[in-house]
Amino acid sequence: VVDLESRLKNYERATSNQVVVLTVDSLQGETIATFAHEVFQSWKLGQKGVDNGVLILISVGEKNTARIEVGYGLEGVLPDITAGRIISHEMRPEFKQKHYHASILAGITAIQQAIGGTYVVPEGTEETETDPTFVFFWIVIIVAAVITLLVGFVQPLLGGLIGAVAGFALPWLILS
């Protein structure tokens, strides 16, 4: 733990980028993304006006769920996709082996490499995870397209049905 702290402090002194690790037992009913965002905002990570902070959040109670929250100032060099790859390819394998310290160290190393422009996903690893936002986006698009097609198909039928009923009912009401 001491070597991780000193490594992070030395990195911050050398680059001004602040990387912080937080482990929690529970997310208290929140999603990991929401919890990480709230911690990031309340701790005001990174320099004011530069927003160059990074939070590594690990929730031990939720099967070692991890999230890397990145300040706007570093999103260009550490986008969400890279943060996800770091979790998938660097941290998760160590977690599965119950090497928690090694997992955190691997995450920190990869984050520093990504910020420095030298991080590369290890060869032979597959991209098996899909961003849930991406999946949700496509589901919404497909559902909207299906609804549009159905309305386009059903609308003339409904219009014809309403017209037939009104065409029969109005004269009947008027004559009666």
- The DSSP string of 119-163 is --PPTT-------HHHHHHHHHHHHHHHHHHHHHHHHHHHHHHHH
pLDDT over 70 (residue 93): yes
pLDDT over 70 (residue 170): no
Bridge partners of 55, per DSSP, are 20, 69
The pLDDT value given to residue 125: 60
Largest Cα–Cα separation, the chain: 94
- In terms of C-beta distances under 8 Å and separation of at least 24 residues, what long-range contacts does 47-52 make, across chains too? 47/16, 47/18, 47/73, 50/16, 52/16, 52/17, 52/18
The pLDDT value given to residue 124: 66
pLDDT single digits (tens) 124-151: 665 555 566 777 777 877 877 777 777 7
What would the mean pLDDT of 148-159 be, rounded to a whole number? 72
The more confident residue out of 42 and 152 is 42
What would the mean pLDDT of 29-48 be, rounded to a whole number? 94
Structure tokens at 11: 């990195």
Q: Which helix (H) or strand (E) holds 44?
A: none
The pLDDT value given to residue 103: 94
Portion of the chain with pLDDT greater than 70, in percent: 85
**Which residue type occupies 93?**
P
Hey, how many other C-beta atoms are within 10 angstroms of the C-beta on 113?
Answer: 16
Supply the pTM of this predicted model: 0.69
Bridge partners of 58, per DSSP, are 23, 66
| Phi, psi angle pair for 119, to nearest 5° | -75, 130
Q: How far apart are CA 24 and CA 163, in angstroms?
A: 63
- Distances 103 to 29, 85, 172 between C-alpha atoms, Å: 25, 13, 79
pLDDT band at 42 (very low <50, low <70, confident <90, very high): very high
What would the mean pLDDT of 47-55 be, rounded to a whole number? 95
3-class state of residue 31 by DSSP: coil
Q: How far apart are CA 36 and CA 21, in angstroms?
A: 11
* Residue 59: closest CA among 90, 87, 17: 87
